[in-house]
């Protein structure tokens, strides 16, 4: 009875202060519970492994707690906590993983350009290629060019492979013209011949004449009439390629100073450019039309050659026609903002497209 009375009196006396200090006491009680829980865990787990995020959190909270309280609060020794903090500071100022040692790598586009120049001009060494890049405005060391060529398996100093047959013939193309005959069967099965000429450099094609009886005198007169009427400038042209047929004579070539190169009898590839042009002429025109006579053939070929020289793109001229290759490529435009006009020629066998004005 006495104990009950003492407990009741004590509780009533402590009730007002407990209400005032309830929040602080609750926090302290929770801390005591957590400390006791940590002590129990330490007895059961010999060693705890903390993640980097845990170490960061402990190191940050250490600034808010007096150092003398560290042994009672933290589950590790003060030396360990200070070691973690030093590592965090060192990681903050460590730039070894943020930068690469040595020179910055050469851009892939520059490496590709160096290899392209070396392939297109086999006679240039690394010093000459370095000078070309400097002239274009790109500054780099000559040793960098040397390393690019060496790693690609190219000898940095010429001579590497020498010009290919394609490069060799392309360099000689502007000095060469080729002539050849093509035959056409009219609607009444009459054989007609047309004499055509192709300039290797500009890819321009010309019609020298149409006849049913191609002889040597006729070929000579056709060539003279063509030079007289067209006034073709043959300055710079040195060679004429033709086959060994009896229809050709070299009188006109001797007069204008051309050297005649005769192709072997069974070798059409010796006059490949002209043979390819004749093949194009047959596929795009002659195999799709019925011709009446010499006059009809001459008029049809004349109109087609105007299209061939003024509109038809050529892969050898970067998809430009001969007229555009001589005058320069057209100004780039957005086709979505322009209307394109179609013109049908030769009865609709071929279409030409132009920007509508």
CATH of the domain at 298: 3.30.420.10
Chain Cα centroid distance, residue 7: 94
Domain-embedded: residue 29 = yes
User: Taking a C-beta distance cutoff of 8 angstroms, is the pair 174, 236 a contact?
Assistant: yes
Same-domain pairing of 175 and 305: yes
Same-domain pairing of 11 and 64: no
Q: Where are the alpha helices (DSSP H) in 155-271?
A: 165-172, 216-230, 251-256
Average pLDDT by stretches of 10, the chain with 357 residues: 50 51 64 69 68 71 74 70 74 68 79 86 81 83 87 71 64 81 90 90 89 87 82 74 79 75 79 88 89 92 92 84 84 78 86 81
Domain-embedded: residue 345 = no
Query: Quick check: helix, strand or coil at residue 66?
Result: coil
Same-domain pairing of 60 and 40: no
Domain-embedded: residue 102 = no
Domain-embedded: residue 131 = yes
Same-domain pairing of 211 and 291: yes
Domain-embedded: residue 40 = yes
Same-domain pairing of 122 and 210: no
Domain boundary among 10, 27, 46: 46
Domain boundary among 69, 93, 117: 93
Count the residues in the chain. Answer: 357
Domain-embedded: residue 329 = no
Domain-embedded: residue 150 = yes
- pLDDT at residue 17, as a whole number: 54
Task: Judge if the upstream peptide bond of residue 256 is cis by omega within 30 degrees of 0.
Answer: no
CA distances from 15 to 8, 12, 19, 26, 185 (A): 11, 5, 6, 15, 127
Counted domains in the chain = 4
CA distances from 4 to 1, 8, 281 (A): 5, 6, 126
Domain boundary among 296, 314, 332: 314
Query: Quick check: helix, strand or coil at residue 234?
Result: coil
Same-domain pairing of 34 and 72: no
Query: CA–CA separation, 306 vs 223, rounded Å?
Result: 19
User: Taking a C-beta distance cutoff of 8 angstroms, is the pair 29, 66 a contact?
Assistant: no
Same-domain pairing of 225 and 283: yes
Same-domain pairing of 214 and 295: yes
Same-domain pairing of 132 and 226: no
Query: What is the pTM (predicted TM-score) of this model?
Result: 0.57
Domain-embedded: residue 282 = yes
Query: CA–CA separation, 113 vs 25, rounded Å?
Result: 77
Same-domain pairing of 175 and 308: yes
DSSP type of residue 198: E
Provide the domain limits for residue 58.
50-93
The count of other CB atoms within 10 Å of the CB of residue 342 is 9
Same-domain pairing of 246 and 270: yes
Same-domain pairing of 144 and 257: no
């Amino acid at each position: 009875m006495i104990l009950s009375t003492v407990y009741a009196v004590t509780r009533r006396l402590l009730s007002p202060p407990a209400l005032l200090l309830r929040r602080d006491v609750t926090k302290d009680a929770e801390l005591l519970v957590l400390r006791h829980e940590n002590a129990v865990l330490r007895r059961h787990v010999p060693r705890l492994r903390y993640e980097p995020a845990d170490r960061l959190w402990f190191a940050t909270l250490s600034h808010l707690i007096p150092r003398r309280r560290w042994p009672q609060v933290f589950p590790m020794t003060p030396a360990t906590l200070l070691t973690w903090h030093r590592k965090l500071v060192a990681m903050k100022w460590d730039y070894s993983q943020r930068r690469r040692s040595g020179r910055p790598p050469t851009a892939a586009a520059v490496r590709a350009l160096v290899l392209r120049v070396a392939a297109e001009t086999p006679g240039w060494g690394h010093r000459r290629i370095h000078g070309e890049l400097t002239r274009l405005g790109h500054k780099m060391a000559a040793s960098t060019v040397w390393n690019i060529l060496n790693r690609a398996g190219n000898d940095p100093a010429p001579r590497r492979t020498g010009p290919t047959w394609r490069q060799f013939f392309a360099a000689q193309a502007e000095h060469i013209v080729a002539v050849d005959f093509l035959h056409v069967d009219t609607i009444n099965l009459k054989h007609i011949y047309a004499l055509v000429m192709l300039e290797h450099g500009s890819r321009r094609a010309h019609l020298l004449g149409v006849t049913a009886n191609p002889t040597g005198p006729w070929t000579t007169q056709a060539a003279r009439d063509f030079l007289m009427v067209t006034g073709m400038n043959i300055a710079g042209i040195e060679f004429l390629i033709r086959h060994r047929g009896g229809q050709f004579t070299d009188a006109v070539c001797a007069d204008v100073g051309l050297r005649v190169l005769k192709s072997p009898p069974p070798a059409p590839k010796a006059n490949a450019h002209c043979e390819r042009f004749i093949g194009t002429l047959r596929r795009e025109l002659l195999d799709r039309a019925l011709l009446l006579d010499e006059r009809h053939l001459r008029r049809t070929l004349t109109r087609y050659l105007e299209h061939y020289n003024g509109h038809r793109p050529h892969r050898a001229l970067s998809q430009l026609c001969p007229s555009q290759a001589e005058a320069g490529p057209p100004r780039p435009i957005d086709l979505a903002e322009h209307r394109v006009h179609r013109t049908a020629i030769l009865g609709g066998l071929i279409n030409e497209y132009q920007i509508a004005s």
